[in-house]
Chains A and B, each alone.
Chain A
Amino acid sequence: MTLRESLSQNYKPIIYFILFVLIGFPLLHPLGLPLPIDQDCRDVYNKIESLKAGDVAVVTQYIGGGNRAELYPQYKAVLEHLLRKDGIKIILEEAGTESPVFSQLVLQELNAFKRKTYGVDFVDLGYIPGDEAAIAGLCRDLHALVSKDYYGTPIDQIPMLKDVNTAKDFTIVVDITASADSQFWLNQAYAPYRTAIALGMASAKVPDAYAYYKAGQIFGILESLKGAAQYEFLTGSPGLAIIGMDAQSLAHLYIAFLIVAGNVAFFMGRKKK
C-alpha cells in the first residue's frame, strides 16, 4: 500500500479514539503547558479590578447545555472576581430559558449567599424574554420591565436596585453568550448610553467580537475556554478551564497534523491523476 492509499483509508473510528485519548489523558494528568495571557482578557480583568465600592456590574449570560463547557467557566471566573471585591453591586440577568439553572449553580458553587448579602450586594433578575426588546427595556427603565427577581421578590423591595434605573447606572456590563445578544447590548447599552461592555464569547463568535474590540466599542473579550482559563489564572483561582487547556493544546496539534496529512493525500492523489 502506497503512502497516498494509506492516507486515503477511512480511519474515522481510530481518529476519534486518538482524539479522545489526547483530550482525556491531560484531564487526568495535567501537563502544565504554558498559558500566555491575551490582552483582551487582561483588559477585562483590569477593568473589573478597577471597580470601586458602589459601582454596578451587570453580568448577563445565555448559557445552555450546548455551550456550557465554553461559557460556564467564564461566568464562574468573572463572578468569583466580582465577589472578591467589596461594595460592588452585582446584577445577574439571563437571556436563555436554560440559563437560570447555571446562575443558581454558580451562586451555589461560589458560596455567594454566605460571602455576600443577597439584595444588597447581588441580585438575580432571572430569565427575561424578548431578546433585543428586553435589553432595550432593561437599559431604559429596569423597574418598569422587571417586576420580580428570580426568587419572586418584588424589585422595589430589593435595596441595591433603588438607585439603579437605566443603563447609565451600569458601570460595566459583561455579556457571556454564544448568541446574537452581544449585538443587542451594543445596540441598546453602548450606542445610546456609552456603557462599558465586555463580551465572553463562545469561540465561533470571537472573530465578530474582535471588530468591536479593535474599534474600542467593547473593553475586552473572554475567548471560549481559553479566555476562562486565562481569567482563572489572573484571579489565582484555577479551575476546570485551566486543566482543560492542556487537552485543548494537544487536540489542536493533533487536528493540525490531520489537516496536513489530509492535504498531503489530496495533492498526491491529484498528482497521480
Chain B
Amino acid sequence: MTDIFVVSIAAILALMIYTILYRENPAFRLGEHILVGATVGNAVVQAVFQIQNVAITKFQKGMETGDVTGILYIIAIILGILLYFQFSSKYRYVSKISIALMLAVGLSLSIRGLISVNVVGQIIGAMQPLNSVQNIVYLIGVVCVLLYFVYEKKVSNIIGPLPKIGRYVLMMTMGAYFANVLMGRVSLVIGTLNDLFVAPAYYFIPIALLIVIADSLSRRKIAGKKS
C-alpha cells in the first residue's frame, strides 16, 4: 500500500514538472517548489545531525574524559556560529574570520594534489610513445591547442596555421562535451519514463494528457472570443 502511494506521488510530481514542455503553469511551479523545499529540508536535517555527530558529540566526550582533542572541537563550533554574522550588517566582518579560514584550509588542501594531479600528472600523461595513430593525433592536438593560447604576434607568424588546428581541436572537444550533456539529459528522461511505466504510475499519463489538451482547447476558445 505504501509503495502504491509513493509511486503515485512520484508519478504525479514528475508529470507536473514535465508540463513545462507545454507551457509555464501552476502545476509546474508547485512541483518545482515541492522539489526545492524537500531538498532544502533534507539538507537542513542532515546538517543538524552532522553538526551533532562531528562536533558536539566529540566536544561533550572530550569534556567528560578530559581529552584535549575533543575539547578543541569548541573552536570549530564557535567558527561555525560566527558564519551567521553574515546576516548582520553591523557585525558582518566577524563572519569573515571563518570564511578566511575556510578558504585557507580549502586552498592549502587542494593545492598539493592539484599540482601533482593536474600539472605534473597531466604533463607525464601527455608524453606518450608515438607508436600509434591515436597517440600521434593526441600529441598534435595537445601542441596545437597550447599554441592557440600563444598571443605573441611574432610567434604567431612563425607557427603559421597550427593555432587554427588547435581551435578546431577545441571545437571538437566542445562538441564532445555537448554530446555528453545531451546523453545525460536523455538518460534523465529514460529514468523518469522507467518510473512512469510501472503500475499505478502509468494511469496518470492519460489523465495529464487530457488536462493539457483541455487547457489548450479552452485557451484557444478564449483567444478566439477575444479576437
Contact = CB atoms under 8 A, between A and B. Distances in A.
| Residue of B109, B189, B190 with most chain A CB atoms under a 10 A cut-off | B190
Contacts, number: 148
Interface in B158-205: 173, 176-177, 180-184, 186-194, 197
B180 A224 contact: yes
Interface string A1-26: 00000000000110010011001100
Interface in A85-144: 97-98, 100, 127-129, 132-133, 136
Interface in A142-190: 147-148, 183-184, 186-188, 190
Contact of B42 (A28, A66, A97, A136): A97
Contacts of B225: none
Contacts of A127: 46, 50
B180 A24 contact: no
Interface stretch (A30-38, A45-53, A204-212, A230-238): A204-212
B190 A97 contact: no
B190 A252 contact: no
A84 interface: no
Contacts of A186: 113, 117
Interface stretch (A54-62, A75-83, A240-248, A261-269): A240-248
Nearest to A217: B121
A147 B184 CA distance: 36
A260 interface: no
B130 interface: no
A172 B109 CA distance: 22
A240 B194 contact: yes
B190 A65 contact: no
| Residue of B114, B124, B183 with most chain A CB atoms under a 10 A cut-off | B183
Interface in A198-234: 202-204, 206-207, 211-212, 214-217, 223-226
B74 to A, nearest CB: 16
A65 B35 contact: yes
A123 to B, nearest CB: 16
Contacts of B124: 215
A67 B122 CA distance: 28
A147 B53 contact: yes
B125 interface: yes
Contact of B126 (A16, A23, A215): A215
A211 B43 CA distance: 33
A128 B53 CA distance: 10
B187 A248 contact: yes
25 contacts: A13-B21, A20-B193, A23-B190, A23-B193, A27-B193, A27-B194, A69-B190, A69-B192, A70-B188, A97-B42, A97-B47, A100-B46, A129-B50, A133-B109, A147-B58, A187-B116, A188-B113, A190-B117, A203-B184, A204-B184, A207-B176, A215-B126, A216-B125, A223-B180, A255-B182
Given A67-B184, A187-B117, A203-B180, 16 more contacts: A23-B186, A69-B187, A69-B191, A129-B54, A147-B54, A187-B113, A191-B112, A192-B113, A207-B180, A214-B138, A216-B125, A225-B187, A244-B191, A247-B190, A252-B182, A255-B182
Interface of A: 12-13, 16, 19-20, 23-24, 27-28, 64-70, 72, 97-98, 100, 127-129, 132-133, 136, 147-148, 183-184, 186-188, 190-192, 202-204, 206-207, 211-212, 214-217, 223-226, 240, 243-244, 247-248, 251-252, 255
In order of increasing CB-CB distance, the 7 nearest A-B pairs are A69-B191, A215-B125, A187-B113, A203-B184, A191-B113, A191-B116, A225-B187
